[in-house]
Amino acid sequence: MNNFTFSYPTKVYFGKNAAADYLPTELAKYGDTVMLAFGGGSIKSNGIYDEITAILKNAGKTVIEFSGIMSNPTYAKVQQGAGLVREKGVDFILAVGGGSVIDCCKIISAQAKLDCDIWDMELNQRKIPTEFIPMGAIVTVSGTGSEMNSGAVITNEEKKIKCGLVGASASFAILDPEYTMTVPMKQVISGAFDTLSHAMETYFGKPDSNNLSDDINEAVMRSVIVNIRILLKEPQDYNARSELMWASAMAENGILKIGKITDFQAHQIEHQLGAYTDCNHGQGLAVIHPVLYRHIYKSGAARFARFARNVWGISDKNTEEETALAGINALADFIKEIGMPTTFAEMGIGENVDLKAVAQSTNITAGCCKKLTAEEILEILNECK
């Protein structure tokens, strides 16, 4: 295991009625003006908006609404939100939604305290912000685990770059599985697959020797697989939703990453695909993962074989490579089983997308077992069509 430092700043309130039970206490710690941030307005039709605004008003807060945060939040939206925070003298940001809303608010929180442009600061000057407007998160769509860390994925439409920035960590996160009950099943499964992807991207990092983080990771992956299957049969199963919501948090709160160098090459490829197509994140990952893994598994056969045995329950084949490939095939079969797309065409991504530009602009990671080139990434993208 590699050396590590671990700290965790976010207090988690998990379970039924968590917002009603705990949000008033948290709100009392902050100033009077709260920016309530959310997405396209679904929280207004499912009752969550009314519940949260009532709590805010009962706490004596002045509410500034910031709505319309898109599924792949843009840098322009960040700047709009930061401007609103400054204009209205916002004391606290409350993000209500899924990962996109929370990610957007993390960077708004940082940008609002800066005189400089955060994109230039982080990506060109290689500096990260240290001051933030306090924020909290109420999760209505699980999968990204965004409430559990300070990372955020933002799309710069002008530059055609979708990448990670560092922003605020939520002071607290409210996770009520009942809030996910009205989310379309397609979105629920897409989010759950994102959780599985986060776990795999960490598991296939370095080192690949036995360690506690990987043992825990295998349990998280098995839990996600089991509970997706349960939810597809029983969409309102509270326990399955609970397990998926907590698995999402576990995959991104740092526990699985302790002592590891993570890979996240599949995410980097999908991010740039998203920059060019605005595609659904979880669906893009579902298409990319098996193709990517078939390209690299021979360079890390032992780890992929362990994945096959311990996550998918596959018995050893004649060779380690055969066992490894059986695990990747099991992943591909699972993706089909749960109704996720297996090609870009199924996602509605046509031939007009410049995959060469996507490949050439993709950030290349150190690689879990093999570092790719832009040319190899283009091969992977073409095989995904």
**Residues 222 and 142 placed together within one structural domain of the fold:** no
Which of 180, 206, 226 lies at the terminal end of a domain, its last residue?
A: 180
pLDDT bin (cut points 50, 70, 90) of residue 249 is very high
Predicted local distance difference test score (pLDDT) of residue 367: 78
**Distance between CA 132 and CA 119 in Å, rounded?**
15
**Residues 353 and 294 placed together within one structural domain of the fold:** yes
pLDDT tens for residues 132-146?
Answer: 999 999 999 999 999
Given a cut of 90, whether residue 7 has pLDDT beyond it is no
pLDDT bin (cut points 50, 70, 90) of residue 16 is very high
Mean pLDDT of the region 86-113 = 98
**Residues 216 and 234 placed together within one structural domain of the fold:** yes
Per the domain annotation, does 303 fall within a domain? Answer: yes
Helices (H), 234-348: 238-252, 265-277, 281-296, 301-312, 320-337
Percent of the chain residues topping a pLDDT of 90 = 95
**Residues 86 and 111 placed together within one structural domain of the fold:** yes
Mean pLDDT of the region 108-131 = 97
Per the domain annotation, does 79 fall within a domain? Answer: yes
**Residues 150 and 213 placed together within one structural domain of the fold:** no
Mean pLDDT of the region 262-289 = 97
pLDDT tens for residues 349-373?
Answer: 999 999 999 999 999 998 789 999 9
Per the domain annotation, does 255 fall within a domain? Answer: yes
Residue for token pair 């997405």: 39
Given a cut of 80, whether residue 384 has pLDDT beyond it is yes
**Residues 225 and 154 placed together within one structural domain of the fold:** no
Residues spanned by the domain of 160: 11-180
Which of 125, 157, 180 lies at the terminal end of a domain, its last residue?
A: 180
Predicted local distance difference test score (pLDDT) of residue 209: 80
* Angle at alpha carbon of residue 375, lines to 371 and 378, rounded to 5°: 105
> Are the CB atoms for 179 and 50 separated by under 8 Å?
no
> Are the CB atoms for 343 and 385 separated by under 8 Å?
yes
**Residues 236 and 366 placed together within one structural domain of the fold:** yes
Nearest to 300 by CA among 259, 341, 265, 252: 265
Q: What is the pTM of this model?
A: 0.96
**Distance between CA 96 and CA 6 in Å, rounded?**
27
Given a cut of 90, whether residue 304 has pLDDT beyond it is yes
Phi, then psi, of 322 in degrees rounded to 5: -65, -40
- The two three-digit tokens of residue 113, written as one number: 């305290």
**Distance between CA 310 and CA 152 in Å, rounded?**
31
CATH number at residue 292: 1.20.1090.10
Domain count, the chain: 2
**Residues 83 and 113 placed together within one structural domain of the fold:** yes
Mean pLDDT (the chain, rounded): 96
pLDDT tens for residues 165-208?
Answer: 999 999 999 999 999 999 999 999 999 999 999 999 999 999 88
- The two three-digit tokens of residue 324, written as one number: 């490894």
